[in-house]
Structure 1
Amino acid sequence: MLLRWVLDKAGSMTNQPLSHTIYETNAVAVASATRDGIPSVRMVLLKQFDERGFVFFTNYDSRKGRELLSNPRAAMLFYWDQQHRQVRVEGRVEKICRQESEAYFETRPRDSQISASISKQSTVVESRKVLEEEHEALKIKYCDTSTPVRCPDNWGGLILIPECFEFWQDTLTCTIKSHQSLQRTKAVCCEHGGEFFKGHTHTQICNLFDLNPSKRCEILWMILFVRKQL
């Protein structure tokens, strides 16, 4: 898996796994837009990734839910400041199947399940008191832990199916070693990222290099453009 390789390797600058140096390694910015092009962005937690793509969960009636379902194109940005690295992903968005959403909902803490049940995300709340009263009422209703909390119909997973990846690394000096690292990076990513690219008609890999005025080397590891067969 491409992202798994990045997560394993991104801690190499500190000789520690990424998960040991960053609090939320799976935090990701998700950008969406309305059908007429008004953008919005927010941080979410990536919960699953496999050969299909990147999965996160949300209230479908929230702003991001409405935008992603009406205009199913999105971009994700993983940014790891301490490692001076980032990964950008672009692609189309779909709902995951209902069974998957319900299966994940069952694994959530009970209080989180109750919160999702009363949430009218992105809408105006009459008062905090009203929200707390609704939450308390559901806690009483489900005080018997043997009674499952039902997954709301408007809550579930969205999957970003990747069409483009961009890997960026900032280094303090420009050396031949940096270029050699890029070549190794390309080879390893092709080897371990193959699951994403099965059945695609075209994959382009390129290295981009830019020396900015501060003399720091900004290296775009590669861009992979992928097009599905029609």
Structure 2
Amino acid sequence: MNMPLNTSANISDPIAQARYNMIEQQIRPWNVLDADVLDLLAVVRREDFVPAAYRSLAFSDIEIPLLGDAEEAVRLGHSMLQPRLEARMLQDLRLLPTDRVLEIGAGSGYMAALLAHRAEHVVSLEIVPALAEMARDNLQRAGIANAHVRVSDGSRDAVPEGPFDVIVLSGSVAEVPQNLLAMLREGGRLAAIVGQEPVMRFTLVRRAGDRFETTQPWDTIAPRLVGFAEPSGFSF
């Protein structure tokens, strides 16, 4: 069993204390026990990927708005996922240093930063130009050179950098997109939050030849990614 991070319980820096509390009180209790993932969350400064107006909420167990009105931003998916969701997705993907990764939904660039620390290269697609610019700026300031953000619709646009070892959807969809499965290499895996409120499931799909093996190890809820199809008559 992994032990808690080697951090003094008497942390003088309030930001360091808030980060420690996020890891120990939100993320570890959510069955994120991979020491490498927990250490990475202490290294990548989440607060640097949060808009200045919400910096005090950087380590809270909420979806943080990124653009405009707070409620509207969360409704439209213009928000950061809860830290525990990002951490558990990262853990379950079991990234390798040789992996080439595609992310759909760059947001503020935080998830791309986490992925880039563990993979060889990350391509992150963002349909909202203002968010793509935000993500690029944040990644550049963080000194991350192996993650690149492009304005693109991940639900339909071609991605010339493929195929990929890993595809991550940083938001929810009604069903696993078939166009993205086609971009997986042999042995590659796709991670998405799939379904409709009130219950969605984290879905991990692994390519094995012409077959796709699917597991759904845990339930959650996340904002929708823009552009992906909904069942007929369904309104999110």
Q: Same fold (TM over 0.5)?
A: no
TM-score bin (small chain): under 0.3
User: Under a length normalisation based on structure 2, what TM-score does the superposition of the two structures give?
Assistant: 0.22
User: Under a length normalisation based on structure 1, what TM-score does the superposition of the two structures give?
Assistant: 0.22
Greater C-alpha Rg: 1
Structure 1 or 2: larger strand share?
1
